[in-house]
Amino acid sequence: MSHFTKIKSKIADKIFLKKAISDMELEYQEGKLKAKGWLWKKEKADIIIPTKSGCDIGFRFNGETFDVVADWDSINDVDQKTFMDTLNQRYAYNVVKDTLVQQGFLLTEEQNEAGSINMTLSREA
């Protein structure tokens, strides 16, 4: 039997969350929304990512961070672990990149075959 699962995250900034989703080349909607699950069950969400299965991956702000709400048993086109790993990587990348650029660093990056990102920082003297 399918049901919604709530995953607590450390994602706190909506702007960087949206950048991470865009980096993953996924479309999203934002507002006072309802994430769809199996048999038309719905959960409140601030951001939703529709999936090909007809169910949504939702993000609901809990006052401090965004919880991920989804009926993962009904989402057969997105692997939960891969999705969460990639989302967390892209979120952290965008937070770090923005912080370093604001501090005056120049950033070059490389992504290896395993998907790890190597950043090289420099600052003009």
- Domain boundaries along the sequence of the chain: 5-96
Query: Percent of the chain at pLDDT above 90?
Result: 74
Which phi and psi (to 5°) does residue 108 adopt? -120, 150
Is pLDDT at 80 greater than 90 in this prediction? yes
Mean pLDDT of 34-44: 92
Helices (H) and strands (E) in the chain, counts: 2, 7
Is pLDDT at 51 greater than 90 in this prediction? yes
**Alpha-carbon 92 to chain mean position:** 10
Is pLDDT at 22 greater than 70 in this prediction? yes
Mean pLDDT of 101-116: 84
Per DSSP (E only), the strands in the chain are 5-7, 29-36, 42-50, 56-61, 66-70, 106-111, 117-122
Q: Strands 117-122 and 66-70, how do they pair?
A: unpaired
Residue type, 86: T
Query: Taking the model in full, what pTM does it have?
Result: 0.88
